[in-house]
Amino acid sequence: MSSAVSAAEEGNARRFWIKSRKESILALYTPFVVCLASGGLRLDAFQHYVAQDAYFLKAFAQAYELAGECADDDDAKVAIGDLRKSVLEELKMHNSFVQEWGSDLAEENALNSTVKYTDFLLATASGKVEGVKGPGKLATPFERTKIAAYTLGAMTPCMRLYAFIGKEIQALLDTNDSSHLYNKWIENYSSESFQASALQNEDLLDKLSVSLTGEELDIIEKLYHQAMRLEIEFFLAQPLTQQTVVPLLKEHNPEEHHLMIFSDFDLTCTVVDSSAILAEIAIVTAPKSEQNVLENQIARMPSADLRNSWGVLSGQYTEEYEQCIESILLTEKAESFYYDGLSKALEELSEFEKRANARVIESEVLKGLNFEDIKRAGERLILQDGCTGFFQSIINNENLNANVHVLSYCWCGDLIRSALSSGKASRSRRFESCHSNPSSRKEELHTFCGRQAWKHESETLPKDTSTKEKVRRNLAVFRESEPALFSVDIFFIHTLLLNRAGGLHALNVHANEFTYEGSLSTGEIIKKVESPIDKVRAFSELQQSTNDRKNVTVYIGDSVGDLLCLLKADVGIVVGSSSSLRRVGSHFGVSFVPLFPGLVQKQKECVDGSSSNWRGLSGILYTVSSWAEIHAFILGS
């Protein structure tokens, strides 16, 4: 189906597949699929997989037969019969694999993950579905047709997933090279006939579900997603005895290793740039005229003047930024990766960014913004799908020795903290805002800590060693950041609050900060991270702060300002499609490689007993279309 098809024209099957995007990526990035795609999957592992898949196909054939008995439409019965014939043909192909590789399907017992799916499918086809009458109570043909729809709901995702995986792998193959060990398997699942069969399943599911109620469609959607999860479990359960490059943290030992995740914020985590959000807050909350400014408030320009000022600043920034990029591209093009040349060129961009910030401060357009308005805007900020879930998975995993750092040009760190801890404990957000501007909030900070201390008197520190270690690491970070201000007691309360609150408060935000008078911004900015040079300096300092362990650094970014950090990290991941990032990077010899093909290539190079060899300054950056890919690569399923 074309991606241009409108939501109104899309069928239920298409809608379910789109909602399962993350699960499809998790399946694609499993060790088994990556090894198979590389051509280096060991033969015994493939033989085992073929034997297990045969159980799936036999269950499919039986489920189609049961679904055909439930269908009350002759066309549907014929369509189901055709699909059953396709499965039987696929079983013949499996038998040809057996003959070619010399294994015996009969000798293989079904894995638990195989049994879980086949039992689930056959139970569904027999009418044993939660919230549905038992098969013996389905009196009318219409009621029995629902079972056919439910059965297709449990089968369609598997067909679509295999069609997706087949196409993704086939796209990596050289059409003139037939030496790939599993070329026959790839040809089958990427073939037009199999793609058509997957589409036929989807069309039939749409037809069978057209007269169902919303509640009944919810049942199908639940079955669809359950089938996807069981397919992922099936791929993960395939036994491998070889070195694999996924997931990145497969060999992570918290006693020896340290994972450092770095991420940009604007347009990496967000859908809209934070400067636009702050501009909107300023304009919406500004007085209509100078006479409307109340006594004791910070004087602000009227909203109409403010809107004009923002328009001028924005236009000037865009024009000068583009001029700066073009100026960089006029330099001599590097014949190979040239980090030093790139770093030198980005000094020009850094000076431009600082001049632009100085203009914003001088214009006073950020003057008089209320902290509560900023916090609310952050809580409502739309983030990239999967971003916070990924951070949450890192922070909550007790088996990881990991830190997450956000490095951003954003003018207001409070906006970032509010956005990334949206819906969580507001007292910790307030505490962090005190920490971000200690010179003006020292007294409030101590008062706040005093009020909170009694609430935690009866609480004991975590008993498990790994959580205690996290508390100690957080303590050290805050002590180093403001040694003159924070006492050990305040450290303790801050760390305790962060750990008790849950959420994303354990994120370390490195950004510029507003200064405040009371709860209103003064228009001044505490400048911490203004430019590409500032970013890479902060990155390097943080990277060097944990030399006692084996560091693995991952940087996630989307713009030219992230280039130096992306390249210095062991793994640099580019989100989005910034043309200026690619133009500047390519000018200095940087290669941009889609992540999945990059991992397949890494797997080809992987030799048993060797490390995955992720090292910075390789000149290679990996591109992704979603945070689901990042999650699948680093954490797996």
User: Which amino acid is residue 210, in one-letter code?
Assistant: V
Contact predicate 504/434, CB 8 Å: no
Question: Where is pLDDT greater, at 624 or 471?
Answer: 624
Euclidean distance between CA atoms 540 and 100, whole angstroms: 53
DSSP for 210-263, please give it. Answer: TT--HHHHHHHHHHHHHHHHHHHHHHHHS---S----STTTT--TTTEEEEEEE
Query: pLDDT tens-digit profile of 219-231?
Result: 999 999 999 999 9
pLDDT(99) > 90: no
Confidence of residue 138 (pLDDT cuts 50, 70, 90): low
Euclidean distance between CA atoms 436 and 414, whole angstroms: 8
Confidence of residue 181 (pLDDT cuts 50, 70, 90): very high
Euclidean distance between CA atoms 68 and 73, whole angstroms: 9
158 is catalytic: yes
Residue of 23, 231, 364, 513 with catalytic role? 231
Residue of 23, 70, 90, 158 with catalytic role? 158
Question: Where is pLDDT greater, at 142 or 458?
Answer: 142
**Sheet of strand 571-575: strand arrangement:** 508-510, 402-407, 257-263, 550-557, 571-575, 620-624, 591-594
Whole-angstrom CA distances from 559 to 273, 381, 562, 580 are: 12, 20, 5, 7
Euclidean distance between CA atoms 101 and 172, whole angstroms: 24
Contacts of residue 362, Cβ cutoff 8 Å, sequence gap at least 6: none
Confidence of residue 478 (pLDDT cuts 50, 70, 90): very low
- For 69, the token pair is 């008995």
Specify the pLDDT at position 63: 98
Euclidean distance between CA atoms 206 and 13, whole angstroms: 6
Contact predicate 535/561, CB 8 Å: yes
Using alpha carbons, select from 175, 157, 134 the residue that is nearest to residue 234: 157
Please state the rounded mean pLDDT for residues 21-40.
Answer: 98
User: Which amino acid is residue 127, in one-letter code?
Assistant: G
Euclidean distance between CA atoms 81 and 350, whole angstroms: 66
Specify the pLDDT at position 473: 54
Confidence of residue 435 (pLDDT cuts 50, 70, 90): very low
Please state the rounded mean pLDDT for residues 41-47.
Answer: 94
Percent of the chain whose predicted confidence (pLDDT) is above 70: 80
pLDDT(528) > 70: yes
Query: Would you identify the CATH topology of the domain 12-237?
Result: Heme Oxygenase; Chain A (1.20.910)
> How many Cβ atoms are within 10 Å of 8's Cβ, its own excluded?
5
Confidence of residue 425 (pLDDT cuts 50, 70, 90): very low
Specify the pLDDT at position 488: 38
Using alpha carbons, select from 522, 568, 395, 417 the residue that is nearest to residue 466: 395
Specify the pLDDT at position 176: 81
- For 233, the token pair is 């479990």
Query: pLDDT tens-digit profile of 308-331?
Result: 999 999 999 999 999 999 999 999
Specify the pLDDT at position 611: 60
Stretch among 103-107, 451-455, 602-606, 619-623 having the lowest mean pLDDT: 451-455
Q: Which residues in 386-504 belong to E strands, given as ranges?
A: 402-407
Contact predicate 51/78, CB 8 Å: no
Query: pLDDT tens-digit profile of 358-398?
Result: 999 999 999 999 999 999 999 999 999 999 999 999 999 98
Query: pLDDT tens-digit profile of 231-242?
Result: 999 999 999 999
- For 227, the token pair is 């089938």
Specify the pLDDT at position 346: 98
pLDDT(33) > 90: yes
Euclidean distance between CA atoms 429 and 567, whole angstroms: 32
pLDDT(480) > 90: no
Using alpha carbons, select from 119, 90, 117 the residue that is nearest to residue 236: 117
Euclidean distance between CA atoms 47 and 55, whole angstroms: 13
Specify the pLDDT at position 112: 97
pLDDT(58) > 50: yes
Q: Tokens 């403001």 sit at which residue?
A: 482
Global pTM value? 0.85
Confidence of residue 469 (pLDDT cuts 50, 70, 90): low
The three-class DSSP label of residue 508 is: strand
Specify the pLDDT at position 350: 98
Please state the rounded mean pLDDT for residues 254-267.
Answer: 95
Query: Would you identify the CATH topology of the domain 260-424+502-634?
Result: Rossmann fold (3.40.50)
Specify the pLDDT at position 612: 62
Query: pLDDT tens-digit profile of 599-635?
Result: 999 999 986 656 668 999 999 999 999 999 999 999 9
231 is catalytic: yes
Specify the pLDDT at position 177: 81
Mean of per-residue pLDDT scores for the chain: 85
Please state the rounded mean pLDDT for residues 388-415.
Answer: 95
Q: Where are the domains of the chain?
A: 12-237, 260-424+502-634
Please state the rounded mean pLDDT for residues 3-13.
Answer: 60
Specify the pLDDT at position 476: 55
pLDDT(424) > 70: no
